[in-house]
Chain A
Amino acid sequence: MNLDIRAGEFLAIVGGNGSGKTTLAKLFNGLLRPTAGTVTVGGRPASGRTVAQLARIVGYAFQNPDHQLFCSSVEEEIGFGPRNLGCTDAEVASRVEHAIEAMDLNHLRKQPPLSLRLGDRRRVSIASVIAMSPRVLILDEPTTGLDAAETKDLMAHICKLNREGSTIVLITHDMKLVAEYAARVVVVAQGRILLDSDPRGAFSDPEILRQSNLEPPPVTLLAHRLSAHGIPKDVVSPQELVLRILMERGAGR
């Protein structure tokens, strides 16, 4: 596999279960080491550094927040990462504040993380990774289990982080999410990269997605079916599809 990720990108790595997308992501922060080839993080090879050292640059929020939460308060939980990095008390406090603000957790700061609802637990887990001030943030299926409102909310926070300069790597099999938020899509199947382009390019050929057990969003499938009538195949949102249909209708009259 060959892959370059530039600073500030908002990238989605997509694939079905067993495609290798999680394996790929774990190579980014040293949880897994390559059998062959090199992984370079921040300009230097990853091979000489431990996971803890790489965690300063690459943060990884796991899919199940319950695999990371264990403290008695949200504040303490978020402070866990910075403490491990050896920050002074003052630094820890300031990073915790920043993360709490970034993920809007002020009203929950004294609560035990494990007692919160799933959406809030996810935000705490992500906040605890942000507090380590990584330049790259890997999010593994962050919207599983969240309803529409919570998803919108969470992704708004993530987009804000991206605007402020963080590189975001989203690992998911939710193509609707990818269509709406990602600027770049890497499709993985059986340990290989099948496609690396923007969402439009990724959706223009459903066969490639199917090789990885994925389906394009329903709206894109519909666009494909209507392509004989002049609708482009790379439509990614309902609004766009309707616009195109109306344009064709207008042109047909």
Chain B
Amino acid sequence: MTGFVDLYTEGDTFLHRMDPRVKIVAVLFISVLGFILQNLTSLLILLVLIFLLLFLARASFSRTMFALKFVLRFMILIIVLWPMFDPSGLPVLATLGPVKITEPAIWRGVTSAVRVGCLATVWYILMFTTSQRDLVRALVKLGLRFDFGLTIAISLRFLPTFSALYDSIKDAQKARGLELERGSVLRRGKSYLAVLVPTVVSALRTADTLSLALQSRAYGASSKRTYLRELRMRRSDGVALGVVVAILVVPALARLVFQVPI
């Protein structure tokens, strides 16, 4: 359950070292670019560039594919289903009852799938090269209120703990003969109560102590807070930011203002 959120792998590539704020902005800009570009060729070029970044981040290809396996399935689903729901354009390749499969529709489906692939991979690169700690700090530095940042950080920190707690409680109830897979929907709902109630109660107890601990460490003492680890932009980060802005602005201008069909 937690592998889904904690994809960070330590490394010493320039992407790992880049200021997390620049990375967040970069990922946002590239995502927007993914929606601005309409041409399949342009999107494929973008995808290749993103894979280049993946390579530079020293991410192993097989691990990436594994992490993105849901995305891959989703992409295949898009390619298969899109033509069934988009009957416009010529030439028509096949007709199955009310469904008309046209060639342009297939290409539009593929384009959409590639777009999804670009977005998912670039976000994966962000998660892969940035620790949760840095992500939260970057968000706070970019303007997120510290309280919200702390809430996110605490949630991420306790995710594995509560996940393990849930598993432990499931075991404890299984040892009392609980069978979660059997029975009608109603019966199963009641069975899950035996696992959910203790989980929620334990979580609330933890939250209670947590709140006391936070207060004991002067949380909220003043609105001005210092931070031990500061995020400082270096020259390389500034350059990267410039490149990212250019990557978005140039095609955006080309497409939206000068009507270049990319």
A and B touch in their complex, CB below 8 angstroms: yes
**Taking beta carbons and an 8 Å cutoff, which residues of A are in contact with B?**
26, 29, 31, 50-52, 55-56, 59-60, 62, 64, 66-70, 80-81, 84-85, 114, 128-129, 132
Contacts of B193 in A (CB 8 A): 70
Assess whether B174 is in contact with A31, with CB atoms less than 8 Å apart.
yes
Assess whether A69 is in contact with B198, with CB atoms less than 8 Å apart.
yes
Contacts of B177 in A (CB 8 A): 52, 55-56, 81, 84-85, 132
> How many Å lie between the Cα of A10 and that of B165 in the bound state?
29
Contacts of B179 in A (CB 8 A): 50, 52, 84
Closest beta carbon of chain A to B150's beta carbon, Å? 27
Given contacts A60-B175, A68-B169, A84-B178, 9 further A-B contacts (CB under 8 A): A55-B174, A62-B171, A62-B175, A66-B201, A70-B197, A70-B198, A81-B176, A84-B177, A129-B176
> How many Å lie between the Cα of A51 and that of B173 in the bound state?
10
Closest beta carbon of chain B to A101's beta carbon, Å? 20
What's the tally of chain B residues with a CB closer than 8 Å to chain A?
A: 19
Kindly report which residue of chain B lies nearest to residue A69, judged by CB atoms. Answer: B198
Closest beta carbon of chain A to B84's beta carbon, Å? 43
Assess whether B168 is in contact with A80, with CB atoms less than 8 Å apart.
no
The secondary-structure label for the interface of chain B is: helix
Closest beta carbon of chain A to B181's beta carbon, Å? 10
Would you call B41 an interface residue if the criterion is a C-beta within 8 Å of the partner chain's C-beta atoms?
A: no
Assess whether B168 is in contact with A55, with CB atoms less than 8 Å apart.
no
Assess whether A80 is in contact with B176, with CB atoms less than 8 Å apart.
yes
Assess whether B175 is in contact with A31, with CB atoms less than 8 Å apart.
yes
Kindly report which residue of chain A lies nearest to residue B177, judged by CB atoms. Answer: A84
Kindly report which residue of chain A lies nearest to residue B199, judged by CB atoms. Answer: A67
Of residues 174 through 204 on chain B, the ones whose CB sits less than 8 Å from some CB of chain A are 174-179, 193-194, 197-198, 201-202
Closest beta carbon of chain B to A170's beta carbon, Å? 16
| Chain A to chain B contacts (Cβ below 8 Å), 9 pairs | A31-B171, A56-B177, A62-B172, A67-B172, A67-B198, A68-B198, A70-B194, A80-B194, A129-B175
Assess whether B197 is in contact with A68, with CB atoms less than 8 Å apart.
no
**Which of A31, A67, A129, A132 sits near B202, CB closer than 8 Å?**
A67
Contacts of A52 in B (CB 8 A): 174, 177-179
Among A51, A55, A67, A114, max chain B CB count under 10 A is at A67
Kindly report which residue of chain B lies nearest to residue A68, judged by CB atoms. Answer: B172
> Known contacts A67-B168, A67-B169, A70-B193; is A29 also within 8 Å of B175 by CB?
yes
Would you call B17 an interface residue if the criterion is a C-beta within 8 Å of the partner chain's C-beta atoms?
A: no
Assess whether A132 is in contact with B171, with CB atoms less than 8 Å apart.
no
Contacts of A55 in B (CB 8 A): 174-177
Closest beta carbon of chain B to A72's beta carbon, Å? 10
Assess whether B175 is in contact with A66, with CB atoms less than 8 Å apart.
no
Contacts of B174 in A (CB 8 A): 31, 51-52, 55
Contacts of A80 in B (CB 8 A): 176, 194
Assess whether B201 is in contact with A68, with CB atoms less than 8 Å apart.
no
Contacts of A69 in B (CB 8 A): 198
Contacts of A66 in B (CB 8 A): 198, 201-202, 205
> How many Å lie between the Cα of A50 and that of B198 in the bound state?
23
> How many Å lie between the Cα of A67 and that of B205 in the bound state?
12
Contacts of B175 in A (CB 8 A): 29, 31, 51, 55, 59-60, 62, 129
Closest beta carbon of chain B to A53's beta carbon, Å? 9
Assess whether A68 is in contact with B173, with CB atoms less than 8 Å apart.
yes
Assess whether B176 is in contact with A114, with CB atoms less than 8 Å apart.
no
Contacts of B178 in A (CB 8 A): 52, 84
Closest beta carbon of chain B to A246's beta carbon, Å? 48
Kindly report which residue of chain A lies nearest to residue B169, judged by CB atoms. Answer: A67
Assess whether A26 is in contact with B176, with CB atoms less than 8 Å apart.
no
Kindly report which residue of chain B lies nearest to residue A128, judged by CB atoms. Answer: B176
> Known contacts A66-B205, A67-B168, A67-B169; is A84 also within 8 Å of B198 by CB?
no
Kindly report which residue of chain B lies nearest to residue A62, judged by CB atoms. Answer: B172
Kindly report which residue of chain B lies nearest to residue A53, judged by CB atoms. Answer: B177
Kindly report which residue of chain B lies nearest to residue A70, judged by CB atoms. Answer: B197
Of residues 124 through 146 on chain B, the ones whose CB sits less than 8 Å from some CB of chain A are none
Closest beta carbon of chain A to B183's beta carbon, Å? 11
> How many Å lie between the Cα of A62 and that of B177 in the bound state?
14
> How many Å lie between the Cα of A135 and that of B93 in the bound state?
70
> How many Å lie between the Cα of A80 and that of B165 in the bound state?
21
Contacts of A85 in B (CB 8 A): 177
